[in-house]
A and B are shown apart, each in its own frame.
Chain A
Amino acid sequence: KNEVEQSPQNLTAQEGEFITINCSYSVGISALHWLQQHPGGGIVSLFMLSSGKKKHGRLIATINIQEKHSSLHITASHPRDSAVYICAAMFYYGGSQGNLIFGKGTKLSVKP
Chain B
Amino acid sequence: DTGVSQDPRHKITKRGQNVTFRCDPISEHNRLYWYRQTLGQGPEFLTYFQNEAQLEKSRLLSDRFSAERPKGSFSTLEIQRTEQGDSAMYLCASSSTGVGTEAFFGQGTRLTVV
Contact = CB atoms under 8 A, between A and B. Distances in A.
B105 A45 contact: yes
A90 interface: yes
B103 A96 contact: no
Interface size range on B against A: 20 to 34
Contacts of A94: 55-56
SS class, residues of chain B in contact with chain A: strand
Interface size range on A against B: 20 to 34
Given A35-B105, A42-B108, A84-B40, A98 B56 contact: yes
Interface of B: 9, 31, 33, 35, 37, 40-45, 48, 55-56, 58, 89, 91, 93, 95, 99-108, 110
Interface of A: 6, 30-31, 33, 35, 37, 40, 42-45, 48, 50, 84, 86, 88, 90, 92, 94, 96-105, 107
